[in-house]
Amino acid sequence: MTPEQFLEFARVLPEPLLLVSGEGQVLATNKPVADWLGLRRQQLWGKMLFELVTESINDIVKYLQACSSSRAMVIGSLTLRKNDGQMLICRSQGAVIQPWSPESSALILLRLENRTLASSNFVVLNQKIDELAKEVQRRKQAEEALKKVNQELEIRVGQRTTALQKTLKELQLTQTQLIQSEKMSSLGQMVAGIAHEINNPVSFIYGNLHHAHQYTQDLLKLVQIYQQVYSNPPSEVQKQIEEIDLDFLIQDITKLFQSMEVGAERIQEIVKSLRNFSRLDEAEVKQVNIHEGIDSSLMILEHRLQATYEYPEITVIKKYSQLPNVTCYPGQLNQVFMNILANAIDVLEASALNSQTTDNQKLTKNNPQIQIKTEIIDEKWIEVSIADNGLGINEQVRSKLFDPFFTTKAVGKGAGLGLYISYQIIVEKHNGQLSCFSVPGKGAEFVIKIPITSGS
């Protein structure tokens, strides 16, 4: 659009419009702008935009660059310096109507609006400018497309199709990851809520058990004193003593309180593990004890480690080294431990159901094990190893373990995202390494290596 064409277009519009170059030179204006400034249109032509406003040259250059590089309207704010010395704060909408090229500078259409005098024409003008910009862009694209030969067009179409397919796959994967993350977040909230609700009454019970035991002992001592003072109680009292078996009651009530105390402590341990696993308050990087995260995951999976009529008990062997606190994302690292441990349990259960077994696998059936080992590699790195003595993994499967949506489980048993997400958490989030080593028939080992300090 030339300045002359702009004036023809702008003359019929009541909105204040400016046509400027990419460098900020005023090429044309309409009458409303000139009226605002108290000048004639001819006096404005050729001036630089920063001569007419109070904003700095640097701010104006940045705004025009943004307008030149955007395909949409760019909103800004300009304070006009009127001829009578007053200031007028305007809302500015800038749109490029001729992109920059080696032959010519960019042409930018600026629509100004007095913030205190907004009118209904804003919507109409905005739509017209938007339609104009889109039409200019469509015509430009059409002209460029016509210059291409059929062979080049076919190549571009093929390339775009491939890119779109790749983008679609990435979007599907991202969507699935977001769903999975939302599930984990919801699970964490639910676990933390349940743990909190359980913890309050259990703490009350546990805190009062000692007092209840002490009160009971005091009452029993009082009964014993009564027995000593009144060695020959009335027959009615004697009958009641025999009915409740007082001697046994005195001996058993202490054991009863001890059992109640052990049970309350057990519940507190479970609650602590649930809260430690969810770690809703630890979404950011912080220093944590890695062993606590592993133990919390084991506590949550404990019901799957116990023997059933279908599966034998799974033994967990811990070989923990003395580790320093590690700077990490605790909740996400717990998710990795949970995924790998749950997969190991799945493998051992499948081994127990497998009818065709070797001598080594028969031993696994009778004695399934998961071994967890931690150690310091050097002053910067630690290693966590989780190994099972299950069926093992062949090379073809092992090479795809960390691919998204790859799973060997039956339909409905897994989405193939657990190890993929674990790999991303370890490699991308913690700058670490996640590897799998396995020999068919001799189990599998997952090795996690992460830096002790973030950024190592």
Question: Please, which pLDDT band fits residue 125 given cuts at 50, 70 and 90?
Answer: low
Q: Inform me whether the pLDDT recorded for 454 exceeds 90.
A: no
pLDDT score of 408: 59
Q: Based on the domain organization, do 443 and 306 belong to the same domain?
A: yes
Residue 326's CB is within 10 A of a number of other CB atoms, namely 22
Question: Please, which pLDDT band fits residue 322 given cuts at 50, 70 and 90?
Answer: very high
Q: Inform me whether the pLDDT recorded for 184 exceeds 60.
A: no
- Domain containing residue 336: 282-451
Q: Based on the domain organization, do 412 and 289 belong to the same domain?
A: yes
Measured distance CA(278)–CA(48) in Å, rounded: 60
Q: Based on the domain organization, do 196 and 235 belong to the same domain?
A: yes
CA-nearest of 118, 62, 101, 39 to 18 is 39
Q: Inform me whether the pLDDT recorded for 411 exceeds 50.
A: no
Among positive and negative, which fits the CA dihedral 406, 412, 418, 419? negative
Q: Based on the domain organization, do 174 and 98 belong to the same domain?
A: no
The proportion of the chain whose per-residue pLDDT surpasses 70, expressed as a percent, equals 80
Q: Inform me whether the pLDDT recorded for 330 exceeds 60.
A: yes
Q: Based on the domain organization, do 385 and 260 belong to the same domain?
A: no
pLDDT score of 304: 85
Q: Based on the domain organization, do 308 and 344 belong to the same domain?
A: yes
- pTM metric for this prediction: 0.46
Domains held by the chain: number:
3
Q: What is the mean pLDDT of residues 137-157?
A: 77
- Would you state the torsion angle of the CA atoms of residues 413, 415, 416, 419, taken in this order, to the nearest 10 degrees? -90
Which tokens hold the place of 275?
Answer: 């809260």
> Is the residue at 155 inside a domain?
no
pLDDT score of 223: 83
Neighbouring C-alpha atoms within 13 Å toward the C-beta of 10: 25
Chosen domain end from 147, 177, 206: 147
Q: Based on the domain organization, do 257 and 286 belong to the same domain?
A: no
What is the domain-level CATH number for residue 25? 3.30.450.20
pLDDT score of 258: 77
> Is the residue at 154 inside a domain?
no
The proportion of the chain whose per-residue pLDDT surpasses 90, expressed as a percent, equals 16
Among positive and negative, which fits the CA dihedral 278, 376, 441, 367? negative
Q: Inform me whether the pLDDT recorded for 118 exceeds 60.
A: no
Measured distance CA(75)–CA(66) in Å, rounded: 10
Chosen domain end from 247, 275, 303: 275
Task: Classify 286 as helix, strand or coil.
Answer: strand
Higher pLDDT, 5 or 56: 56
> Is the residue at 107 inside a domain?
yes
Dump pLDDT digits (tens) for 197-208: 777 787 778 788
Q: Inform me whether the pLDDT recorded for 412 exceeds 50.
A: no
Q: Are 295 and 372 in contact (CB under 8 A)?
A: no
Dump pLDDT digits (tens) for 332-342: 888 889 889 98
Chosen domain end from 80, 112, 147: 147
Question: Please, which pLDDT band fits residue 431 given cuts at 50, 70 and 90?
Answer: very high
Higher pLDDT, 12 or 378: 378
Question: Please, which pLDDT band fits residue 415 given cuts at 50, 70 and 90?
Answer: very low
Q: Inform me whether the pLDDT recorded for 182 exceeds 80.
A: no
CA-nearest of 302, 303, 276 to 290 is 276
Dump pLDDT digits (tens) for 78-108: 999 888 888 988 889 898 888 878 878 888 8
Q: What is the mean pLDDT of residues 383-408?
A: 79
> Is the residue at 231 inside a domain?
yes
> Is the residue at 34 inside a domain?
yes
Which tokens hold the place of 220?
Answer: 């029993």
> Is the residue at 319 inside a domain?
yes
Give me the residue label for tokens 């039956």: 410
Measured distance CA(10)–CA(31) in Å, rounded: 9
Q: Based on the domain organization, do 315 and 343 belong to the same domain?
A: yes
Q: Based on the domain organization, do 322 and 245 belong to the same domain?
A: no
pLDDT score of 98: 82
Q: Are 55 and 10 in contact (CB under 8 A)?
A: no
Average pLDDT, the chain: 80
pLDDT score of 273: 62
> Is the residue at 182 inside a domain?
yes
Q: Based on the domain organization, do 173 and 287 belong to the same domain?
A: no
* Beta-bridge partners for 437: 445
* Beta-bridge partners for 383: 375, 449
Task: Name the most confidently modeled range: 112-116, 120-124, 415-419.
Answer: 112-116
Residue 350's CB is within 10 A of a number of other CB atoms, namely 14
Q: Residue 276 CA to chain centroid, in angstroms?
A: 18
Dump pLDDT digits (tens) for 224-241: 888 788 778 788 888 888
Backbone angles phi, psi at 444, to 5 degrees: -140, 150
Residue 69's CB is within 10 A of a number of other CB atoms, namely 13
Dump pLDDT digits (tens) for 5-43: 776 777 777 889 988 998 999 988 888 888 889 888 888
> Is the residue at 116 inside a domain?
yes
pLDDT score of 181: 58
Q: Based on the domain organization, do 140 and 267 belong to the same domain?
A: no
Q: Based on the domain organization, do 200 and 344 belong to the same domain?
A: no
What is the domain-level CATH number for residue 359? 3.30.565.10
Q: What is the mean pLDDT of residues 433-454?
A: 89
DSSP string, 94-159: EEEEE---SSS--EEEEEEEEGGG--THHHHHHHHHHHHHHHHHHHHHHHHHHTS-HHHHHHHHHH
Max intra-chain CA distance, the chain: 127
Question: Please, which pLDDT band fits residue 281 given cuts at 50, 70 and 90?
Answer: very low
Task: Name the most confidently modeled range: 167-181, 228-242, 406-420.
Answer: 228-242
pLDDT score of 168: 79
